[in-house]
Amino acid sequence: MRYVSTRGQAPAVGFVDAVLAGLAPDGGLYVPETWPTFTQDEIAAFRGKPYAHVAAEVLSRFAGDELPRDAVDAMCEEAYATFAHAAVVPLVQISPDAFVAELFHGPSLAFKDVAMQLLARLYDHVLAGQNRVQTILCATSGDTGGAAVEAFRGRAHVRVCALFPEGRISEVQRRFMTTASEANVRCVAVQGTFDDCQAIVKAAFQDQSLRQAVDLTGVNSINFARIVAQSVYYFTTAVAVGAPDRPVTYCVPSGNFGDAFAGYVARQMGLPIARIVVATNANDILARAFQDGRYARGDVTATQSPAMDIQSASNFERLYFEAVRRESVETARAFTAFAEAGHIDIPPQAQAYMAELFTGVAVSEEETSRTMLATLNETGELIDPHTAVGVAALRRAGDLQGPVIVLSTAHAAKFPDAVAAATAVTPDLPRWTQSLADRPERFDRLPADADAIKACVRAFAET
Ligand SMILES: *Cc1c(COP(=O)(O)O)cnc(C)c1O
């Protein structure tokens, strides 16, 4: 299986190189040259199988002969053994034909764990083979940093340096990063915003002298291995409610569009998905794109679902590439123009292609709070604000072809203030994470200054 860039100016590479590179050298995103597929019988055979088994089937289709099958099996076994639920991604019913898929039973209580736990094993396996140590540099608005630290702590071939905006993430989110005691983890509280952190990471990646000294890598949501890992739970949850004999609809709380795009991937592989409702908060760039055919950046507004406070959804480039029939020249033109002018007018044919599968719905803060309360009253389930955006979109999207599965992307206890404000109930952390509050924290405090942080990364990589 070869991987090509959406912008067409980079050579095709194998799976391992696509994963280690993250972004393609021409600024595009890697996608497989052709989509691997499962037959309907193969999909039906996933019913009742362990999650790790389905994950290994999906991953090996994308890795081809680059990873030995026994290594793939071992990685998937290990990655999903870290989850606190035997089903890994269990379903909870919330109405006669609607279910919530709980993606938050991993070590940092957010759906990022599903991909990150697998990515950590994949990196360690590949880098050990190349006798190489890489340093992951990531900026986090909350969940990615915790998931990366939990996944990569103590690994022999990877160091993690996570930058977070001081005072702008919840205490639980911070503690998932800062209480790791392993020497290969370094957390930095940056005196600035998430955007400052992202700009510093970008500057570090563009600094050739730093890159000669430090083998830097990223694990953000454009990494294709994350998309592969996320397509797995579409298969496991769909077959649990009757696929492939009946098509399934998904509601996906969305920010960078990685999670929803993984649903598109599952469908390309043969899973009968009737519709994917892309649910956003007030940061509605995706909802507007699917409604109006205009992908246009807006100002970022802070909401109670901060992991989705994003106004430029990096994975949208992959869908655009597909929708313009893989015209890389057109994709490069559109996204270069977007970087400069902040908008793309989606060609009518591409818009029609997207509309066959995707519907966009934006949900207000008030509706999000109301949905947390209504869900508690109707089902006894406490849901977090991100999940509430998905459930609200389900209520609003009208006649969906059932069954409908809402992806629940975080545990309610990760956002206790918003949940308590909406429902008057304070969610408890699961028992196995309660020691989080007692463990000592360890992090550096630095100004939002690229040079200071680059020096810190350099020193860390020499340890
Ligand atoms: C990252 C995240 C999302 C958004 O997922 P995308 O793949 O970026 O669309 C939603 N909810 C939570 C809790 C997250 O951490």
Q: What is the pLDDT of residue 401?
A: 81
CA 174/CA 167 separation, integer angstroms: 9
396 Cα: distance to centroid of ligand 1 (angstroms) = 20
Q: Is residue 281 pLDDT above 80, yes or no?
A: yes
How confident is the model over 6-29, as pLDDT tens digits?
999 999 999 999 998 888 989 899
Q: What is the pLDDT of residue 4?
A: 98
376 Cα: distance to centroid of ligand 1 (angstroms) = 22
> Which among 405, 82, 358 has a CA at the least distance from the CA of 249?
405
How confident is the model over 377-419, as pLDDT tens digits?
999 999 999 999 999 999 988 788 879 999 999 999 999 999 9
Give percent of the chain with pLDDT exceeding 70.
100
256 Cα: distance to centroid of ligand 1 (angstroms) = 7
Q: Is residue 307 pLDDT above 80, yes or no?
A: yes
- Of the pLDDT bands very low, low, confident and very high (cuts 50, 70, 90), residue 80 is very high
Residue with tokens 């109707």: 378
Please state the pTM of the whole predicted model.
0.95
> Which among 220, 233, 152, 216 has a CA at the least distance from the CA of 454?
216
How confident is the model over 139-184, as pLDDT tens digits?
987 788 999 999 999 999 999 999 999 988 888 889 999 999 999 9
Q: What is the pLDDT of residue 327?
A: 98
CA 153/CA 123 separation, integer angstroms: 13
User: Is 307's C-beta closer than 6 angstroms to any atom of ligand 1?
Assistant: yes
User: Is 308's C-beta closer than 6 angstroms to any atom of ligand 1?
Assistant: yes
User: Is 409's C-beta closer than 6 angstroms to any atom of ligand 1?
Assistant: yes
Which of 112, 202, 414, 454 is the catalytic position? 112
Q: Is residue 220 pLDDT above 80, yes or no?
A: no
**Atom number in ligand 1 closest to CA 143:** 15
Helices 328-341 and 316-323 meet at what angle, rounded to 10?
A: 140
Residue owning the nearest CA to atom 14 of ligand 1: 307
Task: Give the total residue count for the chain.
Answer: 463
Question: Taking a C-beta distance cutoff of 8 angstroms, is the pair 151, 113 a contact?
Answer: yes
Residue owning the nearest CA to atom 11 of ligand 1: 409
213 Cα: distance to centroid of ligand 1 (angstroms) = 32
Q: What's the whole-number average pLDDT of the chain?
A: 95
Residue owning the nearest CA to atom 1 of ligand 1: 307
Q: What is the pLDDT of residue 372?
A: 98
- Of the pLDDT bands very low, low, confident and very high (cuts 50, 70, 90), residue 101 is very high
Pocket test for ligand 1, best of 104, 164, 278, 308 (most atoms within 8 A of CB): 308
Q: What is the pLDDT of residue 77?
A: 98
Helix/strand/coil for 24? coil
Q: What is the distance in angstroms between the CA of the first residue and the CA of the last residue of the chain?
A: 37
Q: Is residue 458 pLDDT above 90, yes or no?
A: yes
User: Is 110's C-beta closer than 6 angstroms to any atom of ligand 1?
Assistant: yes
Amino acid at 218: G
User: Is 354's C-beta closer than 6 angstroms to any atom of ligand 1?
Assistant: no
Amino acid at 23: L
* Whole-Å CA distances, 190 to 73, 140, 169, 206: 39, 11, 11, 19
Average pLDDT over residues 130-146: 90
CA 257/CA 252 separation, integer angstroms: 9
Cα–chain center distance at 201: 18
What are the tokens at 236? Answer: 């496991």
Angle at 52 between CA 35 and CA 380, to 5 degrees: 105
User: Is 254's C-beta closer than 6 angstroms to any atom of ligand 1?
Assistant: yes
Pocket test for ligand 1, best of 102, 386, 411, 415 (most atoms within 8 A of CB): 386
* Whole-Å CA distances, 228 to 110, 207, 385: 17, 30, 26
Q: What is the pLDDT of residue 434?
A: 81
Name which CATH class applies to 91-109+224-423: alpha beta
User: Is 410's C-beta closer than 6 angstroms to any atom of ligand 1?
Assistant: yes
Residue owning the nearest CA to atom 2 of ligand 1: 307
Question: Taking a C-beta distance cutoff of 8 angstroms, is the pair 250, 239 a contact?
Answer: no
Average pLDDT over residues 37-48: 98
CB atoms within 10 A of CB 447: 12
259 Cα: distance to centroid of ligand 1 (angstroms) = 7
Q: What is the pLDDT of residue 102?
A: 98
User: Is 112's C-beta closer than 6 angstroms to any atom of ligand 1?
Assistant: yes
Specify burial of residue 91 (Cβ count, 10 A radius: 0-12, 13-18, 19+). Answer: middle
- Going through 329-432 in order, the beta strands assigned E by DSSP cover 343-345, 358-362, 404-408
What are the tokens at 149? Answer: 């630290």
CA 129/CA 190 separation, integer angstroms: 35
CB atoms within 10 A of CB 252: 28
Q: Which residue ranges make up each domain of the chain?
A: 91-109+224-423
Q: What is the pLDDT of residue 193?
A: 84
Side-chain half-sphere exposure of 256, counting CA atoms within 13 A: 17
26 Cα: distance to centroid of ligand 1 (angstroms) = 26
Give percent of the chain with pLDDT exceeding 90.
85
Question: Taking a C-beta distance cutoff of 8 angstroms, is the pair 66, 15 a contact?
Answer: yes
11 Cα: distance to centroid of ligand 1 (angstroms) = 30
Pairing of strands 30-32, 3-5: antiparallel
Q: What is the pLDDT of residue 437?
A: 87
406 Cα: distance to centroid of ligand 1 (angstroms) = 13
| Ordered DSSP codes for 240-251 | HTTTTTS-EEEE
**Atom number in ligand 1 closest to CA 144:** 15
User: Is 258's C-beta closer than 6 angstroms to any atom of ligand 1?
Assistant: yes
Q: Is residue 202 pLDDT above 90, yes or no?
A: no
How confident is the model over 224-273, as pLDDT tens digits?
999 999 999 999 999 999 999 999 999 999 999 999 999 999 999 999 99
For residue 202, indicate whether it is catalytic. Answer: no
Question: Taking a C-beta distance cutoff of 8 angstroms, is the pair 311, 341 a contact?
Answer: no
How confident is the model over 317-362, as pLDDT tens digits?
999 999 999 999 999 999 999 999 999 999 999 999 999 999 999 9
**What phi and psi values does residue 191 have, to the nearest 5 degrees?**
-80, 80
